[in-house]
């Protein structure tokens, strides 16, 4: 695995997608960009660690957590990290900066544009989906369970059974 070639393929990916990418340090294979979701604009850091041969992607939230809200945000982090399939939410203990991080080994693999694209899309979708939950905790007076209520106890609505629906089920042999 040639890490320099792998890094060049990442740069090419951003050029092909016409996304701005700012190389912070070519020698250390580190770059950053900004990606706008529906709820926020995230700084995205990409770095390829040579010693571990690990590609790291980090979507940094635009808000940091004040000290008074860190305990409740940590509770939310634990719950979400138990549910999220890829990556993990983290909070810097020093400055309260929140991010979603995905890391995966590139040892013994070739660059796959599709796989990289999947991770980029998964990251922005996941960070953006959960961003409002964190903001409700930081700026509101909510508990973790109130923020997650929609997910824990979905609102149910009454559905009327129609005569036609019953006929369709009988035709399909399901009734």
pLDDT tens across 61-111, in order? Answer: 999 999 999 999 999 999 999 999 899 999 999 999 999 999 998 888 888
Residue 1 pLDDT level (bands cut at 50, 70, 90): low
Cα dist from 106 to 7, 16, 52, 90, 124, whole Å: 11, 21, 9, 22, 21
| pLDDT of 135 above 60 | yes
Quick one: pLDDT at residue 162? Answer: 46
Q: Is the pLDDT of residue 7 over 70?
A: yes
- Please work out, in degrees rounded to the nearest 5, the angle formed at the alpha carbon of residue 170 by the alpha carbons of 166 and 175: 80
- pLDDT over 50 at 168, yes or no: no
Q: Which residues pair with 59 in a beta bridge?
A: 44, 100
- Check residue 132 and give its pLDDT: 92
Q: What is the CATH number of domain 3-171?
A: 3.30.1460.10
Q: Is the pTM of this model over 0.85?
A: no
pLDDT of 164 > 50? The answer is no
Q: How far apart are CA 31 and CA 36, in angstroms?
A: 17
What confidence category does residue 149 fall into, taking pLDDT thresholds of 50, 70 and 90? Answer: confident
* Range 12-33 average pLDDT: 89
In the chain, % of residues over pLDDT 90? 62
């Amino acid at each position: 695995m040639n890490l320099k070639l792998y890094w060049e393929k990442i740069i090419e990916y951003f050029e092909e997608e016409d996304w701005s990418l700012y190389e912070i340090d070519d020698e250390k294979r580190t770059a950053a960009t900004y990606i706008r979701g529906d709820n926020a604009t995230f700084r995205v850091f990409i770095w390829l660690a040579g010693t571990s041969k690990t590609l790291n992607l980090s979507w940094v939230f635009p808000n940091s957590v004040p000290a008074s809200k860190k305990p409740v945000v940590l509770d939310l982090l634990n719950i979400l990290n138990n549910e999220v399939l890829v990556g993990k939410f983290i909070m810097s203990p020093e400055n309260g900066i929140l991010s979603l991080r995905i890391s995966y080994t590139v040892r013994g693999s070739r660059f796959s544009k599709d796989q990289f694209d999947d991770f980029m899309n998964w990251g922005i979708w996941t960070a953006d989906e959960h961003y409002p939950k964190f903001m409700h905790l930081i700026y509101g007076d909510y508990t973790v369970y109130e923020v997650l209520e929609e997910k824990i106890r979905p609102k149910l609505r009454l559905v009327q059974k129609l005569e036609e629906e019953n006929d369709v089920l009988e035709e399909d042999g399901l009734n």
